[in-house]
């Protein structure tokens, strides 16, 4: 399938008084046309920084893309001029943020906030932009949009606001939608509705979605593929089925074991002990070594090579290294 | 909306009544009367004068008469300058004071906001430090000190501007500058800090993610929100400009209302005191009212009327 977005060896650092924070340390992944990729991981592992770097929205200074490339349909976004990048934002790649309560401007009507986005990217009349906005509001399930167009954000509930934010992000028909924790601030029933909306819209428009979350329930519901991030790196990635039923990285296993499941007794819940490494001076070896039950000497010293387990499934862990696998095969 | 305005108007009248009453009794509690100063008037003449101005009546009768003069907005003749009525004095002084006040307010608001925005956008840069240094100076130097400094430097030493009076636009520059600098500095600092805060808000990130240009983001998305706190202080700034005009008018010999107000207190010219007080209070109360309306217009979350559901 066609690759819409390719992130290659992305490095992002923040210069602070305490030194350089290496928030993203060589992240690579592809986003295919029409698929949903979920990025999961603990708080602070670099999910938001990765997604904002794609849009070149990290605050700079202190943030800086220190290396790597972000290819959108083959074009490197990191090399674009700021004015060229503005033509990409909202038109080719859109972004949705976590909190719908604060993501909309409180002093501008929602209609105007959507219309201005269209007018920014498309050479059409205000009338047509308004018509497009109405269609979009209808699509995301806002009842009587003609009335609602004139309302301000505070006149909507949280779930409705997130629908408006989604409408705003999709109205210029972008090819990529990045959603950073789009449901975290909503209550559970609304969460499910919003996730359904994502799926529905993806079916209708073929947009590729990159969803960022630490909620594995959300992942199970929408993701085609999953990338697990830890301390600024993707440590395991694969199709949803592969990650849920055949996780190989001890961190991924830990994540899955720390989520309550209906088919298992609550007693089996095991939180992952310890905390992630300091990103000022990340360890030379595996960043999970300090918390890993299987850590070996090599883990402390050398970062594990990437091992491919299937076409999509790969993992950065010495346990899965080909040489260990060969040894095992030899014994058998 | 109309319900709200009617309620506010009623509150304004009550406030005004309170101010009038307080002024009336304060005024009469100051020892001395308009007639017993250096001039040697005979007892009979003095009694006749008091009779003419109803000063021999009991206080509550005088109070009633003053209330009536307020309601009809006719304060009668001045005691000291009996050839003029208070209304004539106000009619002559007010346009001048109004001009000074309005020009000052406009200069202070626009330059203050501009300075604040520039400082915020060049956060921690040289321009920011420069602007904030000016602002701190502007806040801490009293306007009468600034006025004398300006006269000394620009009018006396460099002779590029006139020293005093109010006869041409050129004459307006120094008094306006002296009066506007303080409020401008306050507005600049407030705009800057409020702008800096607004620029970190999520909806600004959303606006950026939509691909809007920095100009649109600043002026359409950030400024309106950043100005909300600025609008709230406009009322009290207008008050300080108003009181500032007394001093500035005196220093620059500007024939505004401030002169009459100050003189009338010194000479116990009761009708003039009452007239100017009522006038100033009305203007101030109106300003506060306008500020509230402006706030409601700027911030849709504030409902001036209860009709609209959410
Ligand atoms: N403006 C900044 N200045 C300095 N460090 C930053 C800044 N923004 C992010 N970081 C650092 O980058 C790292 C990754 O942050 P990021 O926001 O991407 O985490 P996250 O995975 O999105 O976590 P969460 O689930 O809490 O949103 C963090 O360790 C954080 O300290
Ligand atoms: S590389 Fe070593 S420390 Fe890291 S996850 Fe694998 S076994 Fe654990
Ligand atoms: Mg985040």
Q: What is the DSSP string of B109-147?
A: HHHHHHHHHHHHHTTTSHHHHHHHHHHHHHHHS-HHHHH
Rg (CA), chain A: 21
Per-residue confidence (pLDDT) for residue A5, from 0 to 100: 94
Q: Is A33 exposed, middle or buried (0-12, 13-18, 19+ CB in 10 A)?
A: middle
* Å between A177 CA and nearest CA of chain B: 11
Whole-model pTM?
Answer: 0.80
A chain contacts of residue B300, beta-carbon cutoff 8 Å = 106-107, 109, 152, 154
Per-residue confidence (pLDDT) for residue B310, from 0 to 100: 38
Distance CA A31, CA A311 (A): 15
Check: CATH 1.10.3720.10 for B92-298? Answer: yes
Stretch(es) of chain A classified as CATH 3.40.50.300: 3-83+176-331
CB contact under 8 A, B212 and A102: no
The mean pLDDT of chain B is 84
Per-residue confidence (pLDDT) for residue B307, from 0 to 100: 44
Per-residue confidence (pLDDT) for residue A262, from 0 to 100: 61
Question: Judged by CB atoms within 8 Å, which residues 117-176 of A form the interface with B?
Answer: 117, 120-121, 152, 154-155, 165, 168-169
- What is the spatial order of strands in the sheet that A306-308 belongs to? A93-96, A176-180, A208-213, A36-40, A225-230, A233-239, A314-316, A306-308
Distance CA A215, CA B172 (A): 66
Least Cα distance to B263 among B95, B133, B84, B122 occurs for B84
Alpha-carbon distance values, A165 to A143, A200, A213, A265, B154 (Å): 15, 16, 17, 38, 56
Per-residue confidence (pLDDT) for residue B302, from 0 to 100: 76
When CB atoms are compared, the residue of B205, B213, B300 closest to A86 is B213
First to last CA, chain A: 38
Q: Hey, of B124, B211, B219, which one would you mutate to test binding to chain A, going by the most A CBs within 10 A of its CB?
A: B211
Query: What CATH number belongs to A3-83+176-331?
Result: 3.40.50.300
Nearest CA to ligand 2 atom 6: A317
Give the pLDDT band of residue B153 (cuts 50, 70, 90). Answer: confident
Q: Count CA within 13 A, CB hemisphere, residue A295.
A: 16
The encoded tokens of residue B51 equal 């009779």
* Higher-pLDDT residue of B38, A320: A320
| Residue spans per domain, chain B | 2-71, 92-298
* CB contact at 8 A, A109 and A149: yes
Q: CA-CA-CA-CA torsion for A216, A73, A46, A198, nearest 10 degrees?
A: -30
SS3 A141: coil
Least Cα distance to A256 among B9, A247, B129 occurs for A247
Per-residue confidence (pLDDT) for residue A265, from 0 to 100: 60
CB contact under 8 A, A155 and B310: yes
Per-residue confidence (pLDDT) for residue A84, from 0 to 100: 92
* CB contact at 8 A, A1 and A15: no
Least Cα distance to B192 among B105, B236, B134 occurs for B134
Per-residue pLDDT of chain A (332 residues; tens, 9 = 90+): 789 999 999 999 999 888 888 999 999 999 999 999 999 998 889 999 999 999 999 988 788 999 889 999 889 999 999 999 999 999 999 999 888 889 999 999 999 999 999 999 988 999 999 999 998 898 888 899 999 999 999 999 888 898 899 889 988 889 999 999 888 877 888 888 888 888 988 998 899 999 999 888 889 889 999 999 999 999 999 999 999 999 999 999 988 887 766 665 655 667 777 788 888 888 888 999 888 888 888 888 889 988 889 989 999 999 888 787 777 777 76
Provide, for chain A, the percentages of residues in helix, strand and coil under a 3-state DSSP scheme, each rounded to the nearest 5. Answer: 40, 25, 35
* Higher-pLDDT residue of A261, B252: B252
The H or E element containing residue B258 is: helix B257-266
Please count the other Cβ atoms lying within 10 Å of the Cβ belonging to residue B209. Answer: 23
Distance CA A102, CA A117 (A): 18
Cis peptide bond prior to A62, omega within 30° of 0: yes
């Amino acid at each position: 399938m066609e690759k819409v977005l390719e992130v290659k060896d992305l490095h992002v650092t923040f210069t602070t008084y305490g030194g350089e924070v290496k928030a993203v340390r060589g992240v690579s992944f592809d986003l295919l046309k029409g698929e949903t990729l979920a990025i999961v991981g603990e708080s602070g592992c670099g999910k938001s920084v990765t997604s904002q770097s794609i849009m070149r929205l990290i605050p700079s200074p202190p943030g800086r893309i220190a290396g790597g490339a972000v290819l959108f349909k083959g074009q490197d976004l990191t090399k674009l001029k700021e004015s060229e990048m503005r033509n990409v934002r909202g038109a080719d790649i859109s972004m949705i943020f976590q909190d719908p309560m604060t993501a909309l401007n409180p002093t501008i009507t929602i209609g105007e906030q959507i219309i201005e986005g269209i007018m920014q990217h498309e050479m059409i009349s205000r009338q047509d932009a308004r018509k497009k906005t109405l269609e979009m509001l209808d699509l995301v399930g806002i009842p009587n949009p003609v009335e609602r167009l004139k309302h301000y954000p505070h006149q909507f509930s949280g779930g409705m606001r997130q629908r408006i934010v989604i409408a705003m992000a999709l109205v210029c028909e972008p090819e990529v939608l990045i959603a950073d924790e789009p449901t975290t601030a909503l209550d559970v029933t609304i969460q499910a509705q919003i996730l359904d909306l994502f799926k529905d819209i993806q079916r209708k428009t073929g947009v590729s979605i990159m969803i960022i979350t630490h909620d594995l329930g959300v992942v199970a519901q929408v993701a085609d593929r999953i990338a697990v991030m830890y301390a600024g790196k993707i440590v395991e990635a694969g199709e949803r089925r592969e990650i849920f039923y055949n996780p190989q990285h001890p961190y991924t296993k830990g994540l899955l074991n720390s989520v309550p499941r209906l088919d298992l007794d609550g007693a089996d819940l095991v939180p992952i002990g310890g905390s992630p490494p300091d990103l000022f001076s990340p360890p030379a070896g595996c960043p999970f070594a300090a918390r890993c039950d299987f850590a070996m000497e090599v883990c402390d010293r050398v970062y594990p090579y990437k091992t491919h387990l299937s076409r999509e499934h790969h993992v950065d862990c010495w346990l899965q290294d080909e040489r260990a696998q060969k040894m095992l095969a030899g014994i058998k | 909306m109309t319900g709200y305005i009617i309620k506010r108007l009623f509150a304004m009248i009550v406030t005004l009544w309170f101010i009038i009453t307080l002024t009336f009794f304060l005024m009469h509690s100051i020892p001395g009367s308009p007639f017993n100063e250096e001039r040697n008037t005979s007892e009979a003449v003095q009694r006749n004068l008091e009779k003419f101005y109803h000063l021999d009546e009991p206080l509550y009768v005088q109070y009633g008469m003053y209330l009536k003069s307020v309601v009809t907005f006719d304060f009668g003749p001045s005691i000291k300058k009996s050839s003029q009525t208070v209304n004539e004095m106000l009619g002559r002084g007010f346009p001048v004071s109004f001009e000074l006040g309005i020009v000052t307010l406009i200069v202070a608001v626009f330059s203050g906001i501009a300075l604040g925005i520039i400082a915020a956008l060049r956060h921690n840069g040289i321009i920011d430090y420069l602007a904030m240094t000016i602002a701190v100076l502007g806040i801490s130097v009293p306007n009468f000190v600034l006025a004398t400094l300006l006269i000394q430097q620009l009018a006396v030493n460099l002779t590029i501007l006139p020293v005093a009076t109010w006869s041409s636009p050129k004459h307006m520059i120094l008094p306006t500058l002296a009066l506007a600098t303080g409020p401008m500095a306050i507005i600049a600092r407030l705009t800057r800090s409020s702008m800096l805060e607004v620029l970190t808000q999520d909806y600004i990130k959303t606006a950026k993610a939509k691909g809007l240009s920095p100009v649109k983001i600043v002026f359409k998305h950030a400024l309106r929100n950043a100005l909300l706190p600025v609008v709230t202080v406009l009322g009290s700034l207008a008050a300080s400009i108003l009181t500032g005009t007394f001093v500035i008018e005196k220093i620059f010999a500007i024939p505004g209302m401030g002169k009459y107000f100050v003189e009338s207190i010194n000479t116990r010219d009761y009708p003039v005191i009452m007239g100017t007080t009522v006038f100033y209070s009305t203007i101030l109360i109106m300003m506060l009212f306008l500020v509230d309306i402006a706030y409601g217009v700027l911030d849709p979350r504030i409902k001036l009327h209860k009709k609209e559901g959410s």
